[in-house]
Structure 1
Amino acid sequence: MSILDGWDGWDGWDGWDGWDGWGSGSGSRGPRGNNAMALLRSREAVVGPYGGSGQLRMPRGTADLPEAHDTDALMSWSRDVRHRILLNELLSSVQYEASVGRVMLAHGNQLIAGVSRPNSKLFEAQANLVEEWAIHRAERAAEILAQQKLNLAFWDAIVPLNPRTTPFTIELILLSVAFTSHVVQRFKHELNCPRPRAYSPRIQPLLAEPGYSVLPSGHATESFMLAGLLASLIQPKKQQPPARAAEQKAWFDETSLQMHRLAARIATNRVVAGIHFPVDNAAGQLLGVTLAEFIEHCALGSQGRGWIPREFLGTHGLLTGRFEFDPFDRTQSLVEPRDDYVKTNLDARSGTKVTAPIEMIEWIWGKARAEWE
């Protein structure tokens, strides 16, 4: 799924672009068109006739041009412009290597994540599971419909997100979702796996079928990325009085758990709706968790935790027609050593920490993190 398809269309909050009553929808503070004639007359009265007064430069503390390549200049640009600049920084930091049925994502010469697709027999067998899960459609229909696009109301219900108090957190969320969407669409294109109804006319999906491939699940990828990203941002300060530290840890642990439960439910709802297989969610969780770690690394570099390179092996024997996605099952853990349908290289994590952060991603992360301190 793409941010251009409406993941940033949080309609209830889009109005904050015009917080001052006269900002344009793009975030610039310029007059609306119906003020043009009034401003024309006002200028004539206020400025008076041309007087040839020469330069009347606004004081900047220097007579020279503003500093070039100044990361702090991002603060002067509108949010949509910052979004494009920062998205370009993230996208240009990764490379893809695709072979038949397999895609690898890397940062320089270091693996971030890889996915190889299952064979058609697994998808055909899992179609029976998708049909079984259709029994839950009636009770989950409201959620399924509300979660077609990124709906931050679900996340705000767990951790407070507000355009006035956490504007940079919201910017970082939309940036990270856009980056993740670009990555997952490249994986989907290369792996090219049909959706469930291609295997059975009994599926009859609840939603219109998206116009792209099924593996990995975009909702799972983006939701688990978002759960990991927010968990990193809201971590309590390390230096706290013991009593306060215990309180904050209890809040953080519960909040993080609920966010990961939400990510799992959003992913599962796509299977219930009949447009994904459980195996799609397993691949999406792996990609999303790893991308959250990578985005944090782009901001923190060696001061962060690095990321764990992981690969999803779709043809592994443990993936059967009865495989059910359950991220809270320890056998499906992504933070412990694995060498089955998931390969985790824990030893490589220390190596990922040595690469430098991306300066502009470090800037937006710092702004967002400060909103939680």
Structure 2
Amino acid sequence: MGGLGNLTVTGLGLFVGAGADPVYDPLMVQGLEITEQTISHVANAPSAGSAPGELTFSAPGNMALWADWVRASLYLSDYLGDLKWKACDEDRRVTLSYGGSGHFYNVQKPPIECFQHQLPLMRAYMDQRPDRSPEILTQLGFPTPYFVMLLGLQGGPNRYTFELIAITQVLAAHTAMVVKHHLACRRPDRIGAQIMPMIPTPAHASFPSAHATEAFAVAEVLNALVESRSDNYADFKKRQALISKLAERIAVNRTVAGLHFPIDSWAGAILGRAVGQIILSKCGQREGVQGYRYCANGKLDFFLSEFSKDSNPKYGVEKEGCCAVGPSDLFNWLWEQASNEFELSR
């Protein structure tokens, strides 16, 4: 499931253990029991104190009290509740919409000949395996450490930034699976005998690439975050360039590994950009999503320079309306926590 393959069926395995309750050994449990029996009598005296106050009903601020995996479950439910899709058998097309305000992603299943045209491009990429193998192997799951490197993040001070990155990847992967399932496109090694993957081929469809979806969704969110905190990142434009270039490299690494066609990366990058914009809208950082239609051109490769042009008819990419997305209290809370981690005066 893109980076979800090693993280349980929902992807929330990434959060499990973070903020979870400790497990005591039998000796500790026995010690606690003895202590309770020994000292509890001092709390039995009558007290005139009032009952403790209740937590505020349905308040975003309560999120800080929950375990990480519980927050992740809430983000996932909040996001998926408004995600809708339609699969049209007649022209083998899938459209995604959000919140009933129009679709933001429109993609048609490429014919088998389109994928066959991609095979020579893939064969040429395989020569890069000796140089890229360490990256490919360490990006089997979510490649969070690579984004961390670009922003100088630290586990303690930036815990909520890590959480924002993680849930963006999880949501992007879930969205990609919807499209993959309906389009049902074969992997490169099933179409061309000359393509021999260097790592196991995941048991789901090829088009679009979930790794590309995840990487470009994170790039969209982090590019907005570093720009909003230009007081902390005075060189934010350079950081943005690095973040976008990293997303491209993560996507292309999957082609080098023999798992994805370049057009898979095109479809995934377009979807990832949209997912990132949905998350930013739910965080209160924009008002909607730019919609795109993609019709794959099997004779062309995937390049960040071409993707960055937005509308690019030569490569089969066209803008197609906008989709309004309202803010979410949960995501707005997360954005505020992550943003506050870059306060220079704290």
**Structure 2-normalised TM-score?**
0.88
Cα distance, 1:109–1:339 mapped onto 2, change above 3 Å: farther
Distance 2:258 2:182 in 1: 22
Match of 1:229 among 209, 221, 233: 221
Distance 1:59 1:109 in 2: 44
Question: Residue 225 of structure 1 contacts residue 292 of structure 1 at CA under 8 Å; is this kept in 2?
Answer: yes
Question: Structure 2: which 5+ residue stretches go unaligned?
Answer: 9-13
Question: Residue 7 of structure 1 contacts residue 150 of structure 1 at CA under 8 Å; is this kept in 2?
Answer: no
Question: Residue 212 of structure 2 contacts residue 247 of structure 2 at CA under 8 Å; is this kept in 1?
Answer: yes
Cα distance, 1:338–1:357 mapped onto 2, change above 3 Å: farther
How far does residue 49 in structure 1 lie from its aligned partner after superposition?
8.0
Distance 1:236 1:109 in 2: 27
The letter of the residue matching 1:179 is L
Answering whether residue 97 of structure 2 is matched by residue 106 of structure 1, we say yes
Question: Residue 233 of structure 1 contacts residue 372 of structure 1 at CA under 8 Å; is this kept in 2?
Answer: no
1:339-350 to structure 2, matched below 5 A, reads 341-345=316-320, 348-349=321-322
How far does residue 311 in structure 1 lie from its aligned partner after superposition?
1.7
Answering whether residue 329 of structure 2 is matched by residue 359 of structure 1, we say yes
Distance 1:47 1:186 in 2: 55
Question: Residue 252 of structure 2 contacts residue 265 of structure 2 at CA under 8 Å; is this kept in 1?
Answer: yes
Identity of aligned residues (%): 25
User: What is residue 296 of structure 1 aligned with on the other side?
Assistant: 280
Question: Residue 2 of structure 1 contacts residue 182 of structure 1 at CA under 8 Å; is this kept in 2?
Answer: no
Distance 2:119 2:164 in 1: 36
Answering whether residue 149 of structure 2 is matched by residue 179 of structure 1, we say no
Question: Residue 212 of structure 2 contacts residue 251 of structure 2 at CA under 8 Å; is this kept in 1?
Answer: yes
Cα deviation, 1:174-206, whole Å, max 9, x if unaligned, reads: 111111111001110000000111122221111
The letter of the residue matching 2:316 is Y
How far does residue 25 in structure 1 lie from its aligned partner after superposition?
3.0
Distance 2:37 2:239 in 1: 58
User: What is residue 256 of structure 2 aligned with on the other side?
Assistant: 272
Cα distance, 1:104–1:334 mapped onto 2, change above 3 Å: farther
Match of 1:73 among 41, 50, 62: 62
User: What is residue 311 of structure 1 aligned with on the other side?
Assistant: 293
Cα deviation, 1:93-130, whole Å, max 9, x if unaligned, reads: 21111113221111113212122121000111211221
Question: Residue 277 of structure 2 contacts residue 286 of structure 2 at CA under 8 Å; is this kept in 1?
Answer: no
User: What is residue 92 of structure 1 aligned with on the other side?
Assistant: 81
Question: Residue 338 of structure 1 contacts residue 344 of structure 1 at CA under 8 Å; is this kept in 2?
Answer: no
The letter of the residue matching 1:311 is R
Distance 1:177 1:362 in 2: 17
How far does residue 52 in structure 1 lie from its aligned partner after superposition?
7.2
Distance 1:2 1:205 in 2: 16
User: What is residue 20 of structure 1 aligned with on the other side?
Assistant: none
Cα deviation, 1:143-199, whole Å, max 9, x if unaligned, reads: 111111113221111112222111111111111111111100111000000011112
Cα distance, 1:188–1:57 mapped onto 2, change above 3 Å: farther
Cα distance, 1:201–1:2 mapped onto 2, change above 3 Å: closer
Match of 2:187 among 195, 198, 201: 195
User: What is residue 320 of structure 1 aligned with on the other side?
Assistant: 298
Question: Residue 6 of structure 1 contacts residue 150 of structure 1 at CA under 8 Å; is this kept in 2?
Answer: no
1:236-255 to structure 2, matched below 5 A, reads 236-237=228-229, 248=234, 251-255=235-239
Q: How many residues align?
A: 334
Match of 1:48 among 41, 44, 66: 41
Distance 1:135 1:158 in 2: 27
User: What is residue 244 of structure 2 aligned with on the other side?
Assistant: 260
Question: Structure 1: which 5+ residue stretches go unaligned?
Answer: 9-13, 18-23
How far does residue 335 in structure 1 lie from its aligned partner after superposition?
3.4
Secondary structure at the counterpart of residue 189 of structure 1: helix
> Which region of structure 1 is more displaced relative to structure 2, 25-34 or 40-49?
25-34
Question: Residue 96 of structure 1 contacts residue 105 of structure 1 at CA under 8 Å; is this kept in 2?
Answer: yes
Question: Residue 112 of structure 1 contacts residue 294 of structure 1 at CA under 8 Å; is this kept in 2?
Answer: no
Cα distance, 1:142–1:57 mapped onto 2, change above 3 Å: farther
Answering whether residue 182 of structure 2 is matched by residue 205 of structure 1, we say no
Answering whether residue 256 of structure 2 is matched by residue 286 of structure 1, we say no
How far does residue 280 in structure 1 lie from its aligned partner after superposition?
0.5
Cα distance, 1:188–1:58 mapped onto 2, change above 3 Å: same
> Which region of structure 1 is more displaced relative to structure 2, 43-52 or 251-260?
43-52
User: What is residue 11 of structure 1 aligned with on the other side?
Assistant: none
**Structure 1-normalised TM-score?**
0.82
The letter of the residue matching 2:95 is M
The letter of the residue matching 1:310 is Y
Secondary structure at the counterpart of residue 227 of structure 2: coil
Distance 1:58 1:4 in 2: 45
How far does residue 51 in structure 1 lie from its aligned partner after superposition?
3.9
Distance 1:55 1:146 in 2: 60
Cα distance, 1:226–1:32 mapped onto 2, change above 3 Å: same
